[in-house]
């Protein structure tokens, strides 16, 4: 399967371009198959130390 050619300068704004990119990343991460996922959380804006979202697995571990 070939990946689409994405022009990141044309991502629809979600507040601003940086927020739009973070939203895109969260949407892609949430759509990714993860058989052990029991929960998916978005961290929200600001103070997140670069973690936009994370999943909690059945064993309690978290992946951001």
pLDDT band at 40 (very low <50, low <70, confident <90, very high): very high
Q: Strands 37-42 and 53-57, how do they pair?
A: antiparallel
Which residues share a beta bridge with 16?
14
Pair 6, 28: CB distance under 8 Å? no
Q: CA distances (Å), 56 to each of 4, 13, 34, 53, in order?
A: 29, 29, 10, 10
Is the predicted pLDDT of residue 47 greater than 70, yes or no?
no
- Across the range 28-54, mean pLDDT stands at 86
* Alpha-carbon span 60 to 54, nearest angstrom: 12
Q: Which residue's structure tokens are 């969260």?
A: 26
pTM equals 0.71
Give the pLDDT confidence score for residue 12 in this predicted structure.
79
């Amino acid at each position: 399967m070939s990946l689409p050619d994405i022009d990141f300068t044309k991502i629809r704004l979600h507040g601003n371009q940086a927020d739009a990119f973070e939203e895109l990343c969260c949407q892609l991460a949430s759509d990714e198959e993860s058989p052990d996922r029991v929960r998916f959380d978005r961290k929200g804006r600001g103070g997140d130390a670069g973690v936009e979202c994370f999943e909690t697995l059945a064993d309690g571990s978290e992946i951001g």
